[in-house]
Amino acid sequence: MTSATDVAQHLLWLASREEDGEGVSNLRLQKLLYYVQGWSLALRGKPAFGERIEAWKHGPVVPDVYQQCTRYGYNPIPPLPDDGKTVTDATERSLIETVWQEYRCYSAEGLRDLTHTERPWVETRSDLGDDANSRRSIKHALLLEFFTSQIITPGGVDPRTVWAAEEAVDRGETMSAEEARAILFSDP
């Protein structure tokens, strides 16, 4: 399994390849890691990384990665040498890149505010005050349920099926176009 540090490094590399005015601060990186994990659980049925995500007062945080990047404070974290190769699995890279494309338009504060409206963080902190510190883990079951509920399936195509097909191709498994259409467009 890929580590949260590897995922973070790939996100920083992706950000460094663009003209992204804000850069990626530790606050922004933590929320991006949360979204990678949530979407991985919903689309792939497995976590992107093994480290826990905690419900801190400013949103979801992967403590190990937070500690590695804390020296940058609120400043952008400089890109790490990655060359797009830290995450070796093509499907995982695709997921991380998709999350980056979807959430790169949000500032660190925008991502924090967004996570504060979402069920996994809200429920994990349900009996805590707004400014209370917390080391409570956001459970995979909550992430899976929430992010699965966010899946939009235009035309009835379940994105989880598409991800499963991509993984099969990555393993060298193939199928005919007719078999693929039957899977993609069958009634669930």
Structure confidence by residue, pLDDT tens digits, 150-185:
886 655 556 666 667 667 766 777 666 666 666 655
For residues 140 and 157, membership in a common domain is answered with no
For residues 175 and 130, membership in a common domain is answered with no
For residues 90 and 130, membership in a common domain is answered with yes
What is the residue range of 160's domain?
Answer: 152-188
Number of domains the chain contains: 2
How far apart CA 31 and CA 98 sit, in angstroms, is: 15
Residues of the chain with pLDDT under 50: 188
For residues 162 and 88, membership in a common domain is answered with no
For residues 74 and 133, membership in a common domain is answered with yes
How many helices and strands, by DSSP H and E, does the chain display?
Answer: 9, 2
For residues 178 and 91, membership in a common domain is answered with no
Q: Is the dihedral of CA 62, 97, 88, 160 positive or negative?
A: positive
For residues 136 and 157, membership in a common domain is answered with no
For residues 129 and 172, membership in a common domain is answered with no
Phi, psi of 144 (to 5 degrees): -60, -50
Helix (H) or strand (E) holding 181: helix 177-184
For residues 126 and 160, membership in a common domain is answered with no
What residue type is 129 in one-letter code? Answer: G
CB of 84 closer than 8 Å to CB of 97: no
pLDDT of residue 150: 86
